[in-house]
Structure 1
């Protein structure tokens, strides 16, 4: 796949068991949820994708080493992976996929057991 983009994020997220996309605030956001909880969001401007990390420390570490930036409007355990501001050699499509999968797993693991049981197994 070419450069990172909304289309690429949507293709990766759509393949995850139970993932659903909506535009909860209107105005062209792609908010990906599993079990009703968000795990990825591409803003209306499409400058990057916001994902959940394990905790505030993990988020800070990623920002510090230049793998992500602060996710505007989100809790501090979230980061944004920009589509354009980082050198494409720097953040690979594989790394983007890993961030999305990690975020999905973190959010999925916190869902009620009954909800988790209703989802297909994660890869």
Structure 2
């Protein structure tokens, strides 16, 4: 899977916004101002949020992902050449987790999830 395909999946999430907050070529995808996926300047991995540290540790222990640098332990970095369905699932799941954690007022102003 390529960086472009990751960006397509992220852009398809309702209300998602792209930014490069640190400069230098990061792809940072947000919903309601909160990050749900980020690809660094190297472009080898996409970091996504999981349901918690246990899930993140499971993904790391099974070799699906690795510890996401600079982020909380509930985040994992998945190689861009991961199985496309696994990568798409993890990006969508990260989006849902982050979106559900937003204040209800912000959630109410977002496009509906299909």
Partner of 2:26: 29
For each residue in 1:18-69, what CA deviation from the matched residue of structure 2 results, as whole angstroms up to 9, or x when unmatched?
A: 1000000001000000000000000011011000001111100110111111
Partner of 1:45: 42
Q: How many residues align?
A: 114
- The CA distance in 2 between the partners of 1:83 and 1:111, in whole Å, is 27
> Please, what TM-score do these two structures have when normalized by structure 1?
0.90
Partner of 2:111: 120
Secondary structure (helix, strand or coil) at the match of 1:81 reads strand
Partner of 2:12: 15
> Runs of 5+ in structure 2 lacking a partner?
none
Runs of 4+ in 1 over 4 A off after TM superposition: none
Please tell me whether the aligned partners of residues 5 and 48 of structure 1 are also in contact (alpha carbons under 8 angstroms).
no
Please tell me whether the aligned partners of residues 34 and 104 of structure 1 are also in contact (alpha carbons under 8 angstroms).
yes
- The CA distance in 1 between the partners of 2:5 and 2:108, in whole Å, is 28
Secondary structure (helix, strand or coil) at the match of 2:56 reads helix
Partner of 1:69: 66
CA RMSD after TM alignment: 0.9
Secondary structure (helix, strand or coil) at the match of 1:51 reads strand
